[in-house]
Amino acid sequence: MKTIALFSGYYLPHIGGVERYTYNLAQQFKMMGYRVIVVTTQYDTALSSVEESEICKIYRLPIYRIFSKRYPVLKVNMKYFNMIKQLKSENIDSIIINTRFWITSLLGSHISKKWNIPAFVIEHGTSHFTVGNKFLDRLGHFYEHKITKAIKKNIVDFYGVSREATIWLKHFKIEAKGILYNAIDKGEYKAFEKYLQKEENRIIITYIGRMVEEKGILNLIQAYKKISDKYPYTELILAGKGTLLKKIEKENSNDKKIKILGEISHEQVMKLLGKTNIFVNPSWSEGLPTSILEAGLMKCAVLATRGRRNN
């Protein structure tokens, strides 16, 4: 039985599109008869460093707590080296790396070259990530180019989750080999059909995702406020966590038509989508978000941006 290792900065139970994408990949490879290993980070110390799930074996590498919520930085200590040694004993046949800018991506590329294991990278974004500060964003862009350059020295093949993602790779002088579209298993979501409960006299507009600038969440709120009085039967529901969450809660605390849920579970996401009429994805940094696919599955009208800014 061949073994495939999937490298991802975060993995379930951490909530996010790349996490669901990695989970779906692991599930499909398992069904095809492969042994699957997920290499990720221990963003929560309550999670086991090494865990066997029904689908895959999970290695959660140690990280510094200070950046754990947004950008996990690996802690290269004795535990780290012991886990890498243990990982080598797994006799990995192939490596798939999700995104370019995680340090786990750089690690995956180094392991690929050092251990002579074939590998490729899947691009999920369509723009530089941002923290809403021009100076820090410039540093971030510089870092992103540097880490991408380092990964390119070890990895030849790159793919995107959408056409826009492959176009974005050209910004780093990378010609994608193709598109590995994001997807969900329709059969897995049979259990969520019971949540399909659209109301006739009310229109629910929903956003689900991280509360960060590049997701376009502030633009969505501003746009909704311009039309909310004209359409009194509408409601805007926002779900997710992030650096802008407290700001959004504070600025909209008195607006009864805007409901802010914070982070919710995947089941709660599907329940929310079941009653949602219009799902909005205003992001300019994503290739093909899992949330859009889930919204379509739950019979929501989807309003989305092209997903890429000129850079």
Q: DSSP string covering 134-189, please?
A: HHHHHHHHHHHHHHHHHHHTT--EEEESSHHHHHHHGGGT----EE------GGGG
> Is the confidence at residue 137, as pLDDT, over 90?
no
- What mean pLDDT is predicted for residues 157-171? 93
pLDDT of residue 125: 86
Encoding tokens for residue 123? 């691009």
User: pTM of the predicted model, to two decimals?
Assistant: 0.81
Q: Which CATH architecture has domain 3-179?
A: 3-Layer(aba) Sandwich (3.40)
pLDDT of residue 308: 53
CA 107 to chain centre: 19
pLDDT of residue 301: 96
Please write down the long-range contacts of 294-297, taking CB distance under 8 Å and 24 or more positions apart: 294/184, 294/189, 294/269, 294/270, 295/206, 297/184, 297/186, 297/189, 297/192, 297/273
pLDDT of residue 129: 75
The set of residues, in sequence order, having a beta carbon less than 8 Å from that of 156 and lying 6+ positions away, is: 120
CA distance 189 to 269: 12
CA distance 224 to 232: 11
* Segments of the chain assigned to CATH 3.40.50.2000: 3-179, 190-304
* Whole-number percent of the chain with pLDDT over 70: 96
Give the Å distances, CA to CA, from 203 to 22, 221, 236, 293, 298: 33, 16, 9, 20, 15
> Is the confidence at residue 163, as pLDDT, over 60?
yes
Flag the least confident range among 137-146, 183-192, 302-311. Answer: 302-311
* Whole-number percent of the chain with pLDDT over 90: 72
- What mean pLDDT is predicted for residues 287-299? 88
User: What does CATH list as the number for 190-304?
Assistant: 3.40.50.2000
